[in-house]
């Protein structure tokens, strides 16, 4: 519950601080419920917060986001290194389908409790909300 409240607080505070072009101000929702919030951006790079899907193995967990936009191409990485639970690094590759839609594929890497390294691949479509 504490994670959810913290994540929602970050989203509310960041909404008042966001002001730029392109992806900003922007909150994007994935088809599986994940949230991508772009907090700041320069001409190419952006940073923000990513909240994992509520139906995933680590529901609504915040991750740092760093990425770049070149033309219609969007590439970003979500990371969570400050804690041992839900420690995942995911690389996202996609394109702007239109001003309100980003289609992506991802490769997520994490270590299972057994110590075995695991990689998961998938797709996600984000829509601006």
Q: What is the reported pTM?
A: 0.77
What's the structural domain count of the chain? 1
CA–CA dist 55, 97 (Å, integer): 25
pLDDT tens for 11-70 read: 333 433 333 345 556 899 999 999 999 999 888 999 999 999 998 888 999 999 999 999
Domain that holds residue 89: 2-128
Give dist(CA 52, CA 111) in Å, integer: 17
Residue that the structure tokens 């639970």 belong to: 85
Lowest mean pLDDT among 59-68, 73-82, 112-121: 112-121
Q: For the domain that residue 113 is a member of, what is the CATH number?
A: 2.40.128.30
Q: Can you read off the two tokens belonging to residue 65?
A: 């986001």
Q: Cα(108)–Cα(95) distance, rounded to whole angstroms?
A: 18
Q: Where are the alpha helices (DSSP H) in 24-117?
A: none
């Amino acid at each position: 519950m504490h994670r959810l409240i913290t994540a929602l607080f970050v989203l509310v505070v960041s909404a008042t601080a966001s002001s730029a072009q392109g992806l900003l101000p922007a909150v994007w929702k994935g088809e599986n419920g994940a949230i991508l919030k772009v907090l700041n951006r320069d001409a190419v790079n952006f940073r923000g917060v990513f909240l994992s899907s509520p139906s995933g193995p680590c529901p609504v967990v915040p991750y740092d986001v760093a990425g770049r936009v070149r033309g219609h191409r969007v590439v970003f990485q979500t990371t969570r290194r400050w804690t041992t639970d839900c420690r995942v690094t995911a690389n996202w590759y996609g394109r702007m389908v239109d001003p309100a839609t980003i289609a992506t594929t991802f490769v997520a890497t994490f270590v299972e409790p057994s110590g075995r390294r695991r990689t998961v691949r998938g797709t996600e479509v984000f829509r601006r909300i």
